[in-house]
Amino acid sequence: YWYHSHTMLQEQKGVYGSIIIHPKEKTLEYDKDLVVVLSDWTNEKPMNVLRNLKRGNEWYQVKKGTAVPLSRVISEGAFGAQLKFWRDR
């Protein structure tokens, strides 16, 4: 489960997170729980993103051959992917 704001652009600014519900009784044995939250990311201001989306143009469409495979992003890590982004500009 997760929570997020519906006020203005708060969700896009990071007002969201996990809700952890513990069962009354433990049914499985395991070492620890891990929570993973995946989200879209942009360095643009949320209002600029909204403005571009409302235009209805192709501003945010992914073109063939331009998207980075998730496996490469994970293997490079966030810092490596960010360095590559700036090198390729």
pLDDT value, residue 82? 66
Average of per-residue pLDDT values in the chain: 79
What's the pTM?
Answer: 0.48
**Per-residue confidence band for 7, with pLDDT thresholds at 50, 70 and 90:** confident
| Nearest residue to 35 (alpha-carbon basis) of 50, 54, 53, 21 | 21
pLDDT in tens, 19-62: 988 888 888 888 888 888 888 777 888 888 888 888 877 777 76
pLDDT value, residue 79? 62
Q: CA dist 86 to 30, 42, 67, 73, 80, Å? A: 41, 14, 15, 14, 10
